[in-house]
Amino acid sequence: MLEPADTDPADTGAVEPVWVSPTWRALLAAGVRTVASVPDAGLAALIRRAEATADVTAVPLSTEEEGVALLAGAWLGGSPGVLLMQSSGVGNCINLLSLARTCRFPLLMVVTMRGQYGERNPWQVPMGSTAAEVLRASGVLVFDVQDEADVAPTVEAAAAMVFSGAGMAAVLIGQRVIGAKAFAAAGR
Amino acid sequence: MSAIDPDRAERYPIRRRPFVAGLLAGDDGVLVVTGLGAPAWDATAAGDRDRTFPLWGAMGGAVAMGLGLALARPRDRVLVLTGDGELLMGLGSLSTVGYHRPANLAVVVLDNERYGETGAQPTHTARYTDLAGVAAACGWPCTGTARTPDEAAALAAGLWAQEGPRFWVVKVAAADEPLVMPPRDGAHLKERFRRALLGEP
């Protein structure tokens, strides 16, 4: 079990979760050059990788559905991308998924799950328990990952499918992999 | 606060169709994303073209889509042509553009202060919302509102000479125009755009 990611911010020099480096390599190997994101503690290291990579455009969003449209625009311009978000962001995306579905834009999503396992914020539980179902109902291939060793190979497999024409796919990284948020000092 | 005339937009002197035709005339290189509804019909009336991606849905997504295209193609000019109702659904995307500030992006909002496709209900710009003010507050270096045909003509002529990203509201008359629809097969629209720009679908 990893340390809770919230207690592991970049500036402490703490250890990056082991799945991050191979997952980032898998994304680059799949051709990903645009990384759109709304942050989650579990995605912080991946977002830092994107920001630190010269040929990659990292795009912080104000809300997740922007990412669906933004990646469609990037694809029109020849730049394959990925959308990073936490499970609560899935609900924000639903209508915009119609863009990817109707136009058959490739859409690769990596979603860190909250509200799923040991969650201490009950407000995270609704999307945590329905994100996979909602995505499937919207026509998205869903890959549910519960072991950190499976994250990178699953992202590689999902990317291969998305960018060879299979449409939309989401890799859901389970809260057992990410760790439940600690709510220690700040009481957030 | 004084009352606002709910019919004021019917008297705006700028007509959307000639303005859009003038904005796009002869500019074969510009990459265009249009918001759904009237701006898509306006752009199509000016001439259906491969390098225009007209949205038929995804309301609120036009600016974000244009941003993704602008970031992916920094040497090309990208124009988002949308409406007030469409933009109001994605106001946050103005702050996302303000964060990145791509110099090759322009957004032009054809603001008739109405939801034109659903019965001409007033949008929030029919009262106090100032979209150019929102963009300015989000850090866009060049913003403004055109209200007269002269201002609109100056905008069409000088849009790309301004520091980008630039954001303009054009207050257009609330009036019905004939429907001129682009192809509605989204996969076709996507593939023809990519073929024209990248040489591959």
| B39-98 pLDDT per residue, tens | 999 999 999 999 999 999 999 999 999 999 999 999 999 999 999 999 999 999 999 999
Mean pLDDT throughout B148-159?
A: 97
Q: What is the pLDDT of residue B17?
A: 98
CATH code: domain of residue B75: 3.40.50.970
> What is the number of helices (H) and of strands (E) in chain B?
8, 8
CA A99, CA B60: separation in Å to the nearest integer? 11
3-class SS at B169? strand
3-class SS at B120? coil
DSSP state of B10: G
Does the pLDDT at position B141 exceed 90? Answer: yes
Q: How many domains does chain B have?
A: 1
B56 touches chain A (CB under 8 A): yes
Mean pLDDT throughout B27-39?
A: 97
| Domain limits for position B180 | 8-198
CA B41, CA B172: separation in Å to the nearest integer? 15
Q: Chain A, 9-48: which have a CB under 8 Å from a chain B CB?
A: 33-34, 36
CA A157, CA A167: separation in Å to the nearest integer? 13
Q: What is the pLDDT of residue A13?
A: 58
CA B42, CA B177: separation in Å to the nearest integer? 9
Q: What is the pLDDT of residue A168?
A: 98
Q: Chain B, 21-40: which have a CB under 8 Å from a chain A CB?
A: 31, 33
CA A51, CA A58: separation in Å to the nearest integer? 6
Structure tokens at B182: 């682009």
Residue B51 in domain: yes
Q: How many CB atoms lie within 10 A of CB A183?
A: 12
Distance (Å) from the alpha carbon of B186 to chain A's nearest alpha carbon? 4
Q: Chain B, 169-188: which have a CB under 8 Å from a chain A CB?
A: 186-187
More confident residue, B3 or A9: B3
Among partner residues A66, A74, A103, which is closest to B71 by beta-carbon distance? A74
Terminal-to-terminal C-alpha distance of chain B = 54
Size of interface A-B (CB pairs under 8 A): 125
A121 touches chain B (CB under 8 A): no
Q: What is the pLDDT of residue A14?
A: 59
Sorted by where each starts, the structural domains of chain A and their CATH numbers stand as 21-178 (3.40.50.970)
Q: What is the pLDDT of residue A183?
A: 79
| Residue to test with chain B: of A32, A34, A55, A70, most B Cβ within 10 A | A70
Mean pLDDT throughout B102-121?
A: 96
Question: Which positions of chain A have pLDDT values less than 70?
Answer: 1-14, 184-188
User: Are B59 and B36 spatial neighbours (Cβ–Cβ below 8 Å)?
Assistant: yes
CA B153, CA B148: separation in Å to the nearest integer? 9
Residue B106 in domain: yes
All residues at 6 or more sequence positions from B151 whose CB lies less than 8 Å from its CB, including other chains: none
Q: What is the pLDDT of residue A33?
A: 98
Q: What is the pLDDT of residue B108?
A: 98
Q: What is the pLDDT of residue A108?
A: 98
Q: Do B33 and A62 touch (CB under 8 A)?
A: no
Q: What is the pLDDT of residue B2?
A: 67
